[in-house]
Structure 1
Amino acid sequence: MPRSTPRRVSPYALLAAAAVLAIAVAVTGMVIWPGGTESDGARRPAAGVTAEADPRALAGRTVVIDPGHNGGNSADPRAINRLVDAGGFRKECDTVGAETTDGYAEHAFTFDVAVRAAEELRARGATVILTRNDDQGVGPCVDERARIGNEAGADAVVSLHADGGPPQGSGFHVIAPAASPDGGNDGILPASGRLANLLREAFGSATGQPPADYLGEDGITVRADLGGLNLSRVPKVFLECGNMRNPGDAARISDPAWRQQAAAGLVQGLVAFLTDGGPRDGGTARAGGGGGSSGASASPGS
């Protein structure tokens, strides 16, 4: 592609713009971002998430974000321990999830990142559905979470989690589906693998978080024991954003600014997937680890 000649900007225009910015800062004491202020960590654009999103980039696309677990799960063990279909076998409806040593809960983390990402995706024209609309309820069960994506005819589904792995282990990983025991998810495996690869690249770039060093291979794991993946009939992956039991990961997860970066990585991965042909065939996840995870968060409750 031929190089284009760089466009010259008048120094007078630069001086004028600087003067306007200086006046704005002097008057307000802050830089105003669309949707918030510099001090509003929940809405401030992070690296890779632009303030001026293309409102047509994802027009016509439907995305389901599934924030793992829920704030009321621990208060209703009977509900979350009942067995439901998990795609060829039965397992618990849900779990309480993991938490940091300081008590920051996985369910709160996943909901926070989901809300941030949903706002950015909607700004790009996507229809976004969350599997839960607050952090005080119970469930939904894993089969219902999968059903929400299926009934929406989603172009992509991402289930958000943060692992509860060994304290010495750190990093994030994406879980892609393997063939379920009942064979019901065979049709989504290629597209889900492509989503896993794109999300892995985007999330690592946006957050600076390294791939997990305690399971999987290069940030990807393939599993057939998660009901949320086995029952899905649309492209779907799990994103384990870090290990809540690792001190370094826990510090990042507890930081609102880093959670905005996590949302940015999620958005970038979805945009890459949905604007490059969407859920077409082709591409499988490169992964190791095959079957199990030492993490508590995505094991029995997903």
Structure 2
Amino acid sequence: MIPDMMQAVEITEAGAPEVLKSVARAVPVAGHGQILIRVAWAGVNRPDALQRAGLYAPPAGASDLPGLECSGTVVGIGIGVNRWKVGDQVCALLPGGGYAEYVTCPADHALPIPKGVSLRDAAALPETAFTVWSNIVTRGRLKAGERFLVQGGTSGIGTMAIQIANALGARVWATAGSDDKCEAIRKLGATPINYRTEDFVAVLHKAGGANLLLDMVGGDYIARNLRALADDGRLVMIAFLGGAKADINFAQIMMRRLTVTGSTLRPQTDAAKASIARDLSAQLWPLIEAGAVRPIIDSTYPLADAALAHERMETSKHIGKIMLQVAAES
């Protein structure tokens, strides 16, 4: 039975984590091409905090509730959906709405729970997997034997990027700001660079330069990222935690044949996200089921404590993903 009302966490106004409040909301209804999921777990991501702060509005037609990924059970099927049935367990990329007991999403943005993966861990996959795969494999064209650097190696994105790059046969470096985080990076199979005591540009130059660099920092890192690249290297930007503007000498891009690109996931079309989901199903899910790639979980909180989860994320002390438990696993 699907109830009329559900518990959710909404953004009551733009501000700090305490603006996240538990509320009762009407259960959404699956529209054409959509499924309705009874949520078990939801992931916490930086875009959630940006939306909460009033800096990242949801796209037109999306729920105003935060939450870009979840796992759970399909309990409703919209017109035109043939690939799922009621009772299927899935994880899904969401346009919003994950901080709730029920959520709808396009059916083609859901994936089966990988064999051997819990509902909790599966909920940590969609946002990071869609982002990392589309940017370092599809857009960044990472190949075996290449040198790869990811900035922020202990974030959810960073831990996923390290593992995928390793599975593809790349040589991997990752930055972090503490000895504990550097040790976590080492355990994941990458060479850590403590950005407080080392210059990542010098480290990569000594190794021959990065063939691909994935950056979430921006700001004054952008020019340094370019210097850290090998000739013909590629820089992929996916966030600008340090700012979106920089002074860049474009002559080096021309002379060294560098590529600068980037993307953000949420505004992409449903068709583009469905294409990424097909790639993940065919190429990444087998790596997960083989144990070559796994979600790294930092901590878990009840849905009602979403504000505490946001506080944890904004300390930047976490290693891996922060998760919200919405319902007991079944």
**Higher-strand-fraction structure:** 2
Larger RCO (CA under 8 A, 6+ residues apart): 1
Asked whether the two chains share a fold, i.e. TM above 0.5, the reply is no
Q: TM-score, normalised by structure 2?
A: 0.29
